[in-house]
Amino acid sequence: MAEQIIDGTGTGRKTKVDNNNQLHTFAITEDEQRAASRLGNEYNINTGTIAYTGTGESSMLYLKNDEDDDYIITAIAIGLGTRSVTVTDAANITVVKNPTGGDIISDATAVAINSSTNFGSSKTLKTTTLAYKGKDGGTITGGTDHLLFYMTDGRLFANVNIEMPRGSSLAIKIDLNTSGGANAYAAVIGYLKDSKNA
């Protein structure tokens, strides 16, 4: 007797096999990032506007992952207003891997935005996950420089692939390369990897 595949939910429906002996199925596939967004586990972390007035490096953003799952950063966005006075070069944006200190941590200010990309979700990253905004003349110490971007006034959007296991951290700093100042913001977009799918 031939075996039958019957719907396990009790409808009695059976699978179809066509004249080419092909089993008919219908599937919806989605990538890991889209699945995370659907579950409310993709986030936009944004400093909000920071007013920079001085020269030299300043802190922008600090993020430490204390979630149970890895945090995957897929994009970094920087917004830079019109720099004033003498502009000497493009602004330098540096992403630091696993920084250990600086007043961005010791004198912490929470980021302005910690929002799920699923507008039907009220989830945020755990309160134990640290997401701080920088300040004019703010410091970031330790760690290793990981990425460097040059940008002029306007917006930079960089697709990246950074995996942050629990306990790892990231920071972003800026050198405006101007004798004046400008408003700026930094954002990271990423999602929590579902460890059950690993």
For 84-97, how does the pLDDT look when each residue is reduced to its tens digit (9 = 90+)? 877 778 899 999 99
pTM for the structure as a whole: 0.82
What sign does the dihedral 149-154-159-165 (CA atoms) show?
positive
For residues 185 and 91, the answer to whether their CB atoms sit within 8 Å is no
Give the pLDDT of residue 43: 93
Contact 125, 45 (CB under 8 A): yes
Q: What is the pLDDT of residues 36-61, one digit of tens each?
A: 777 778 999 999 999 998 778 999 99
The answer, yes or no, to whether residue 128 has pLDDT greater than 70, is no
Q: Say how many Å lie between the first and final Cα of the chain, rounded.
A: 39
**Residue reference for tokens 């004198």:** 107
What residue spans define the domains of the chain? 32-197
CA 105 to chain centre: 19
Per-residue pLDDT at 120 = 92
> Could you tell me which CATH class the domain 32-197 is placed in?
mainly beta
- Alpha carbon 46 to its chain centroid, in Å, reads 9
Half-sphere exposure of 72 (CA within 13 A, CB side): 15
The rounded mean pLDDT for the chain is 88
Sign of CA dihedral 177, 109, 140, 96: negative
- The two tokens of residue 152 are 């002029």
Q: What pLDDT score does 36 carry? A: 77
